[in-house]
Structures are given as structure tokens and as C-alpha cells.
Amino acid sequence: MGFPIVRTDFDFKIIISSLASSVTKNENLVTNFEESLSLLTNKKYAVFFPKLRFGMEATFRALFENQVIGVPTYTCSVVPHSVALSGNKVQFFDSNANNLSTEIFPGDLDSYIVTPWYGSPLNSDLDHVKYSFGDFSHVNLFAQSDVNKNNFYATFYSFSPGKPLSSIGGGIVSTDDEILYKNLINLRNNKFNNNVSFAQAGDIAFSLLGSFIDILNLENIKIAFDDKGYLDSLREPINEISLGKFPKKLSAFQIEMLIRNIEAKKDNQLEILNFWKDTLEIFPIKILNSQNWSNSHLNIKADERNSLQKTFQKLGIQASTGVKYLNHQLSPYESVDGSASFKNSTNHLNNLLQLPINLSDRNFLKLSKNIERIQLKVGRLYL
């Protein structure tokens, strides 16, 4: 039994029921789904996209032209790509020193993206400009009261595997601006066709494979492939301005899967967070998670990162160093901020280690029985 960071253990019954509902799809499926999600985001409107990256691009395209937009250097490459592809300009900024969030920008900057990267906390007392955006792709919709104290112009949520509310993909853009909402609907329908298809073959295959891996207890194999980089083909190519392949139509199966996964969601991450705190508190390891909604990854920093990673891997616990790049170093962005200093982001990049915090009840029960074994193995590094 392995303990993965990214969960793909989709319930087989949920897959079958989602497929059945997709065959007889409701013509108001997308609209009804978006209305229910807007209530969770505390915004008037929500627009669903097959991939969040296209929702971000559409937002910036609808609002700006040749505008400078502040972007974290320590975030997923699709964020600056979405800005560049929308016809706007990227300016990179450093993250906080004590956590992975990027939320401090100069007062004369008209637009920027606030990012609680990997579910890091935000300072709810900060005031932001009108055209500030919240990239909450690692924030749980059900545990985000502090996030909503910041009145961002639009917020972005992702439902890809590895996110707090994970499914087979998709994302939403939420806003109070009716004009932006209508523009996003038009851009979405022009790009993806407003007719909802039954399903994408790749989505069905991915969900079934994830379910069978879990049923057959093959998570260790998936973790091994991921650690060796064999699954990188599923991710975004970081050194080209591209937002990857996308479905030509909205998929009923994608939405039905997401609805059922949200309904079946069990918020056990706080229990898992407390388990890790109890397990690691006796060691010189800093846990960066400090809020209940920071629950897509357990983020820790330690001097013995490489040795610690190998120790967890031998225990069957996936340990990741996160993204292996800073965006300002990628092509074609090297010349954008050539003289800027990103010391905080560089420090995080070189010292971050991530452990699973989004586990099934079954996996968490197995993990919790190994606390003494984990402490024994980790303790040997600090003797």
C-alpha cells in the first residue's frame, strides 16, 4: 500500500453512475452546476471551463489588452502562460518569506494575481486593488472563510487530480461582474462549443485506470512512475507558451463526476494535518500549513530535504519537492525580470518537501498506525 500525494482513487460506483447520467444529460446541466458553485464562492456568477487554465486566459482576454499583470514566479507555468496568451504582459514577483503565498505587490500596479501556492495561508488584512485576482486552485471551497474576506475581482478554482476538491478535471472562474460573466460565457462557448458532449474517451479511461489502481492496491507503482518523471507527459510543457490540449466540447461526464465527488467529499484533512504535526513536531522540521483550507499538500521545510525525501519514499509515502522551476527563469520569460531578486521563492524551491494530506479514510487509517515507525526512520537523520 502506497500513500500518494495526488489522489486518483475514483469510486467505481461514482464512475458508472456518472456515465449513466451523462447519457441522459440535462440540458441545463452546466447552468445549474455553475449556479450551485457560485454560492460556494460567495460570488454572483461562476463559469465552468474544461480546464481552469483556459478560464484564466479568457478572464484576462476579456478585461485587458497589453496590460501589465503581476504574477508569482513560484507557481505553475500555466499562470504566466495564460497572461501571455491573452495578449497581456507578465511581471514576476516574489513569494512571502514565511510561506509559499505571493500576495504583496507595489501600490502602482493596476492588476495582479494573488496566489496561496500549494494551499498556503493568506493575510486577510491586506487590501488589494480593484483588478486583483485570487488563484485558489489549491484552496478547498468548503473551508475558505478567510479567503473571502479579500474582495478579489475574480477567483479561480481547479478540480484536477491533486486539488482539495479533485476529480477528473475542470475549473471555474467566479466574479460579481455581470459583463465579465457574459463575456466569459461567450469566450467559453466559442472555444469549446456550447453543446455538451456525452464524454471524452480520455476522461473515461483516466477515471477507470485510477479506480483500478486503487482497487488492486497498486498505488506504489503509480508513485514510482510519478517520482521518476514518467507521468510528466500528462502535465504542461513548462518551456513553451502553451496551455496544452483541450476538449472541443464541454463534457457531461466531467461535470457529473465532479458533482458526485463533491457530494462524497469527506473533510479529513484536518485530522491528517494534526497527525503530521504530532509525528514531526519532535524534529527540526517546519510545517508551513496553518489553516484548514491548506489541504492539497502538506508543505514542510527541512535542512535534510533530500535524505528526508528518500526516507519517506522507503516507507511508501510519496514525498515531492513540488515544481522544479521558477517561472522567471523559463523561456521566453528570462528577459522580463532579469535584474529582479526572488530570494524567498528560491529558498522555498530549494527546501520545500511535500507529503500527502489528501488521503482516503482507508489510507489514513493505515498511515496513522505507522507513527512510531515513521518517527524511528526520520529520527535516524537527526541523531
Identify the CATH number of the domain in which residue 166 sits.
Answer: 3.40.640.10
Q: How far is CA 28 from the centre of its chain?
A: 27
Q: Is residue 237 part of a domain?
A: no
Grouping H, G, I as helix, E, B as strand and the rest as coil, residue 143 is: coil
26 and 154, same domain (yes or no): yes
Give the Å distances, CA to CA, from 257 to 11, 30, 114, 126, 134.
10, 13, 29, 36, 25
CB 136 within 8 A of CB 40: no
How far apart are alpha carbons 229 and 223 in whole angstroms?
10
Q: Is residue 219 part of a domain?
A: no
282 and 184, same domain (yes or no): no
176 and 90, same domain (yes or no): yes
List the domain range (segments joined by +) for residue 16: 12-196
Q: How far is CA 276 from the centre of its chain?
A: 21
177 and 276, same domain (yes or no): no
CB 159 within 8 A of CB 169: yes
Q: Which of 151, 171, 196 is the last residue of a domain?
A: 196
Q: How far is CA 216 from the centre of its chain?
A: 27
Q: Is residue 248 part of a domain?
A: no
The angle subtended at Cα 331 by Cα 327 and Cα 334, nearest 5°, is 70
177 and 315, same domain (yes or no): no
CB 234 within 8 A of CB 323: no
Q: pLDDT tens digits for 13-71?
A: 999 999 999 988 777 888 899 998 888 888 899 999 988 999 999 999 999 999 999 99
Q: Which of 196, 213, 234 is the last residue of a domain?
A: 196
Which grid cell sits at 134? 485570487
Q: Is residue 252 part of a domain?
A: no
Q: Is residue 74 part of a domain?
A: yes
* Of the listed ranges 139-148, 161-170, 224-233, 306-315, the one predicted with least confidence: 139-148
**Phi and psi torsions of 79, nearest 5°:** -70, -55
Grouping H, G, I as helix, E, B as strand and the rest as coil, residue 192 is: helix
Beta-carbon contacts of residue 335 (< 8 Å; ≥ 6 apart): none
pLDDT band at 145 (very low <50, low <70, confident <90, very high): low
**Pairing state of beta strands 298-301 and 352-355?**
antiparallel
Q: Where are the alpha helices (DSSP H) in the chain?
A: 12-23, 29-41, 52-63, 78-85, 178-192, 201-215, 219-227, 252-263, 269-280, 305-314, 343-351, 361-368, 371-379
pLDDT at residue 383 tops 80: no
Q: pLDDT tens digits for 51-66?
A: 899 999 999 999 999 9
pLDDT at residue 9 tops 90: no
192 and 278, same domain (yes or no): no
Q: Is residue 5 part of a domain?
A: no
**Phi and psi torsions of 92, nearest 5°:** -90, 150
Residue among 155, 84, 163 at smallest CA distance from 118: 163
pLDDT band at 324 (very low <50, low <70, confident <90, very high): confident
Residue among 345, 292, 339 at smallest CA distance from 322: 345
CB 155 within 8 A of CB 134: yes
182 and 274, same domain (yes or no): no
What's the structural domain count of the chain? 2
Mean pLDDT of all residues in 334-362: 84
178 and 283, same domain (yes or no): no
122 and 24, same domain (yes or no): yes
Q: pLDDT tens digits for 172-182?
A: 999 999 999 99
275 and 144, same domain (yes or no): no
| Bond preceding residue 161 cis, omega within 30 of 0 | no
Q: Is residue 214 part of a domain?
A: no
Give the residue, 362 or 182, on which the prediction is more confident: 182
Q: Is residue 6 part of a domain?
A: no
Q: pLDDT tens digits for 225-282?
A: 777 766 665 566 656 666 666 656 788 999 999 888 888 777 787 888 899 999 999 9
pLDDT band at 293 (very low <50, low <70, confident <90, very high): low
166 and 27, same domain (yes or no): yes
19 and 126, same domain (yes or no): yes
Percentage of residues in the chain with pLDDT exceeding 70? 90
Q: Which of 145, 164, 196 is the last residue of a domain?
A: 196
What CATH number does the domain containing 325 carry? 3.90.1150.10
